[in-house]
Structure 1
């Protein structure tokens, strides 16, 4: 029997999708690919395959999940199976350099960025960037891993040459223009089936770990303020800026069906996309308030794709 195969490496991030698939009565199977074996002479099962492997898998001791998944996706695609977020999406997920080049190719503006390998090269890249304030981040990261803001080149030098320096898992550190927003928030744009679903305003006043999954936000759902507490995640009403068309074009060009694109607006009104998540999660509290449910829309989309291949 044909079914939906969900390729992943984190059980906590599949729970809500499983509930929605069960509600719809759609047959499914979970493939946890932190490790395994693959007979390249075999043929895949019938059905559709939804890839949600994360760039942050190494932070859960699943260091080679993306590499193993890439092998599995090559096998599936070789046999003509329908893959949601296939090998091109995976390459974007694990490399911000790939993301920025693909975004720029679709006419989407990203912050000025220099990629560097080696401590000396990181310091040289900061000088070449020519900014008084700038950000470092890991090329392959997730949940804001490795993101730090520096206001001087001396502070960067002390970090790079000190014991607290954090080596990226792929060795590539990004030096990036610091985009100063007039207010501490970013907008995360959610897409299902390559089409815009909603935008969620994310409070960044407490830092850069912006994972919206319930498993990430149990401890930090609300941030302290002088007045009543406010939700960290808020879905925006009647929100569809003109640049959404270029975001959808980017997804189509790169064969990405399900994703979130995070963007920030500077004081002059310029909008920069700076991160693409192809294993997107949703915040239940924010969705309950807005009455829109990402995992339900995703389950319905997967169901429609399964029906398409079986008929």
Structure 2
């Protein structure tokens, strides 16, 4: 009998999926690829393979997990195995530069962004971007790594040349124009099987804590909190969300062989949508899902189960 193989490096994020697989009685096996071996002279087992490798693995002591996963995915794909979120998805997961170039190619608008390596070039990039306010972020990110909001070049210099500078794991810092929204929130669209499942409204009034599974607090030194707001859920699934951008996102995922993803966008004061992040290792907020009666991991487990059944039929 074929299995579902889950490739990952963080059991805390994966247990929500394995619980759903167990509920549905589906056979599975976890491949925790923080280390291991791959024998290129042997064929991989039959089954359905789903990668949840994360760009932020290095923050959990798994520095080379993405690189090793890339080798395993190449081996699986060489042998024609059914792989979801394979090597192309991983390439986008670990590089926002790759994300933005792919999104732009697909006709999806992104914030103006400059990639820089080296302290002096980070400053030059900020001077070149030409906006009063701008954001820094890591090229290989996840969990909001390196995200800081600045309102001056001088503030950036103090950060870059100071003791608190957060060096990106790949040495690449992005300088990005700051998109001011009329209301303090962003929208995250979730996809399973390449198809839209639901959209989540994420409150950003207290900073850029945008990951539904592992919030990433950004200190208020560079990012003002703003006025007090009435207490409300940080994550809310939007009822009846139907935006034209969804069609573009689904076409983009298909073009780039991405099966499961969370895509985030912000709407400017002028009403323009800017897409700024693709999470191929997407997570879901349990409170928001319970309130809406929609469950991403359940949909994912059903999808993987259907793929196993199809494989066995073939």
TM-score tier, shorter chain, comes to over 0.9
2: distance between equivalents of 1:63 and 1:208? Answer: 24
Change (3 A) 1:218 1:62: closer
Residue 29 of structure 1 deviates from its aligned partner by: 0.3
Cα pair distance change 1:81/1:265, threshold 3 Å:
same
Specify whether residues 143 and 218 from structure 1 end up closer, same or farther in structure 2 by C-alpha distance, changes over 3 A only: closer
Mapping for residues 107-122 of structure 1, pairs under 5 Å: 107-122=107-122
Shift of 1:255: 0.2
TM-score (normalizing by structure 1): 0.95
Structure 2 Cα separation of the partners of residues 115 and 209 of structure 1: 23
SS at match of 2:55: coil
Give distance in 1, aligned partners of 2:232 and 2:216: 14
Tell me what 1:251 maps to: 253
Shift of 1:84: 0.5
Deviation at 1:217, TM superposition (A): 5.2
**Deviation readout 1:50-77 (Å, 9 max, x if unpaired):** 0000001011111000000000000000
How far 1:129 moved relative to its partner?
Answer: 0.5
Residue 244 of structure 2 corresponds to residue 242 of structure 1: yes
Q: CA deviation at 1:228?
A: 5.5
Alignment-derived partner of residue 196 in structure 1: 196
Mapped partners of 2:29, 2:134: distance in 1: 44
1:289 aligns with 291
Q: 1:75 to 1:227 in 2, by over 3 A?
A: closer
Which residue does 1:42 correspond to in 2? 42
* Structure 1 partner of 2:29: 29
Shift of 1:227: 7.1
Does the 8 Å contact 2:209/2:215 carry over to 1?
no
In structure 2, the residue corresponding to 1:200 is in which secondary structure? strand
How far residue 247 of structure 1 moved from its aligned partner, in angstroms, is 0.7
Task: Say which SS state the counterpart of residue 71 (structure 2) adopts.
Answer: helix
Over the aligned positions, Cα root-mean-square deviation in angstroms equals 1.7
Is 54-63 or 159-168 further displaced after alignment?
Answer: 159-168
Contact preservation (8 Å) 2:209, 2:216: no
Extract unaligned runs of 5+ from structure 2. Answer: 218-224
- Give yes or no for the alignment of 1:148 onto 2:151: no
Secondary structure class of the residue paired with 1:211: coil
Equivalent position of 1:10 in the other structure: 10
Structure 1 gap ranges (5+): none
Q: Distance in 2 between matches of 1:102 and 1:178?
A: 21
In the alignment, the residues of structure 2 paired with residue 199 and residue 279 of structure 1 have an alpha-carbon distance, to the nearest angstrom, of: 16
Structure 1 residues 163, 228: closer, same or farther in 2, change over 3 A?
closer
TM-score (norm 2): 0.95
CA positional deviation for 1:209: 2.6
Instruction: Give the conservation status (yes or no) of the 8 Å contact 1:143–1:208.
Output: no
Aligned length: 306
1:262 aligns with 264
Match of 1:178 in 2: 178
**Structure 1 residue 44: deviation in Å?**
0.4
* Stretches (4+) displaced over 6 A: none
Displacement of 1:162 after TM fit? 1.2
Q: Kindly provide the CA deviation profile for residues 157-209 of structure 1, in whole angstroms up to 9, marking residues without a partner as x.
A: 11111111111000000000100011111000000000111000001112213
> For the residues of structure 2 that align with 1:207 and 1:123, how far apart are their CA atoms?
23
1:7 alignment partner, SS class? strand
| Mapping of residues 15-164 of structure 1, within 5 Å | 15-164=15-164
